[in-house]
Structure 1
Amino acid sequence: MALHPRVMGPHSLQVRCRRRAARLLPLAAAMVLSGCAAVLNAATSGEGYGVVSDIRYGTGERGTYDLYIPATVTETTPLVVFLYGGSWESGDKETYLFVGQSLASDGIIVAIPDYRLYPEVRFPGFVEDAAEATARIMTTVRGGAYGMPGGPHPVFLMGHSAGAQIAGLLATNGDWLSGEGQSPSDLTGFIGLAGPYDFLPLSEERYKSIFPQETRTASQPVNFVDGDEPPMLLIAGADDTTVKPQNTRSLAARVRAQGGEATDIIYPGVDHIGAITSFATALPLADETIRDRTLLFIRERSHQEPAQ
């Protein structure tokens, strides 16, 4: 995927990414996404937002985040904390510039943290990092920093694939954010893209290593739903063979059964990678309505007008 974006048109790039991902195991599919993201990032506009890189939230090489700041920020501009996927063993924040741009150029503050990966840690190490990062980001943005006014910025957790599982746990199990000095009730919404929320029993040996037997029940977001979760927008592709769309249906059904609010949308013709590459504004690779629907969810819950 080393071609310049002007050499390969959006349709050709979409077909190649999909065909290659469909033939690969999940980790290899993550590598394909990384290659596609490099093309997308190269074509991504730098207009309408600024980036503050490598802000520290924790210790270690991966204890930092990037902050995407819209050109115009008020006290109530929404904040999205985005957690990327990669089968809990790959990924980095630099790969997702196109996601930060996609939302920040539309008037939303975006934070993308790194977190420790397997084999450095097993579950729940990466969730601990995500909770620490989210709490620190909330405090920093709401307190006013990097030229932004402080205020009651509505906070949304958003994740793709393994990142959606991690974000889903923060949204459903209040102990994670409470342990970092933040209230889970401060979350305005959760946006899950192609997330594994109800994926037991495990079949692959590497996942058995990432999720030790004694922790597996605690790894499932569906097990912590009690009706007080933030509103959820749960999206998956009907052609996803990496994470079964039933995960999305299962979490949404559990939330609604407990009296909570969850909207689940399964998009025809969209695969696992397409759920996130749909956010590219330079070379959209899948259903552009996924981005539109996400922006609408954020605006409606935060009472924000569309960016001009």
Structure 2
Amino acid sequence: MKRRVMWTLGIILALLALAGLALWIGLQRNAPAVLDTIDSIAGPSHDVSRVHEERFGEDPLQQLIVYREEGASGPLPVFIFFHGGAWAHGNPQDYGFIARNIAPQGYVVVLGGYRLNGSGRYPAMLRDTASVIGWVHENIADHGGDPGRIFLSGHSAGAYNVAQVALDGQWLEEAGVPDDIIRGVVGLAGPYDFYPFDTDRSRAAFESVGAGEESQPVNHATAAAPPMLLVHGEADTTVRIRNSRALEKALRATGAMVETLYLPGKTHNDPLLALTSPWRRNPQVFERVTNFMAAQVSVPVQPQTP
């Protein structure tokens, strides 16, 4: 009997080890896809569905996906999210967990894609980001969204994209998007002040095409900037927290509205994990993000100064 119990325990431990190894391998190959699977299994039961997919260019990654909670009455404010990946990898198809967690808070959620690697070098990623916002502004009413109440968010490289597009007005203007429809920007572990370029990824995406200081969000801070929330782990060694602190300082100097949430001991992916289940057990980040947006939803749009 004892031998049988030991044999059974050995099998269970071996299976757990194999499962752990498989999870580790999956995280190394495509962490967002693994998170998406875990969230879909462990997350709360919400009737959030894809309601539309759109291509806006010839590259397969020039795509967007619209999510909405079934039965939600609109028009709802819109949350547009752009993935990270050092402008070299990533796919919005792997980020359904963002929609499943944000949509039940009263938003239509759009996951935006953009060109990567050679074809996505600066400023292509910004044009694609602005194109997604332009599509949303023109079409989201057909899916229950309010084109006049749009929030932008992104993680890592995606946070750079939304910050630069929101602060450097040429990209939204080029896409035909009024800048007063952007109600707020949520940046998760974003690079906002990284010139001169000192990594292989940044050199490939920016230096290889001759980009300079004009490519940095920190250099486009103005009093007219939309409200911004910057979330960053203090132990982030992939994108140093000095990026968020520099942008915070630049925005405050102009009188723009900026909030920050700096997380002691947290690393690069922790702000993103905090928006998923079961990591929402500590609600600090999730509640800060949703409260920030809720405060801006009902704020009247201020007329733009000529």
User: Under a length normalisation based on structure 2, what TM-score does the superposition of the two structures give?
Assistant: 0.83
Q: 1:29 and 1:230 mapped to 2: Cα distance?
A: 36
Match of 2:58 in 1: 59
Bigger share in helix: 2
1:142-221 equivalence runs, <5 A: 144-146=141-143, 148=144, 151=146, 153-212=148-207, 214-221=210-217
- Which amino acid in 2 is paired with 1:117? L
- Indicate the RMSD between aligned Cα atoms, in angstroms: 2.6
1:303 aligns with 2:298: yes
Q: Which one of the candidate residues 213, 218, 221 is aligned to 1:225?
A: 221
Greater than 3 Å deviation, 4+ residue runs: 28-38, 41-46, 150-153
Q: Which moved more, 1:247-256 or 1:263-272?
A: 263-272
Match of 2:93 in 1: 94
- Which amino acid in 2 is paired with 1:115? Y
| 1:43 shift after superposition | 3.5
SS in 2 for 1:215: coil
Q: 2:163 and 2:170 mapped to 1: Cα distance?
A: 13
Q: Which one of the candidate residues 229, 244, 262 is aligned to 1:266?
A: 262
Is the contact made by 1:278 and 1:284 (CA closer than 8 Å) also made in structure 2?
Answer: yes
Match of 2:38 in 1: 39
Q: 1:46 and 1:180 mapped to 2: Cα distance?
A: 37
Q: 1:172 and 1:93 mapped to 2: Cα distance?
A: 23
Is the contact made by 2:81 and 2:152 (CA closer than 8 Å) also made in structure 1?
Answer: yes
Greater relative contact order (Cα < 8 A, sep 6+): 1
Q: 1:124 to 1:258 in 2, by over 3 A?
A: same
Is the contact made by 2:87 and 2:120 (CA closer than 8 Å) also made in structure 1?
Answer: no
Q: Which one of the candidate residues 281, 284, 293 is aligned to 2:288?
A: 293
| 1:40 shift after superposition | 2.9
Is the contact made by 2:133 and 2:177 (CA closer than 8 Å) also made in structure 1?
Answer: no
User: Under a length normalisation based on structure 1, what TM-score does the superposition of the two structures give?
Assistant: 0.82
1:247 aligns with 2:243: yes
- Aligned-residue sequence identity (percent) comes to 27
- Which amino acid in 2 is paired with 1:265? L
| 1:210 shift after superposition | 1.3
Structure 2 unaligned residues grouped into runs of 5+: 1-14, 300-306
Q: 1:286 to 1:170 in 2, by over 3 A?
A: farther
Structure 1 unaligned residues grouped into runs of 5+: 1-6, 21-27
Q: 1:153 and 1:179 mapped to 2: Cα distance?
A: 18
Is the contact made by 2:136 and 2:147 (CA closer than 8 Å) also made in structure 1?
Answer: no
SS in 2 for 1:154: strand
Higher radius of gyration, 1 or 2: 2
The number of residue pairs the alignment matches comes to: 278
Q: 1:286 to 1:225 in 2, by over 3 A?
A: farther
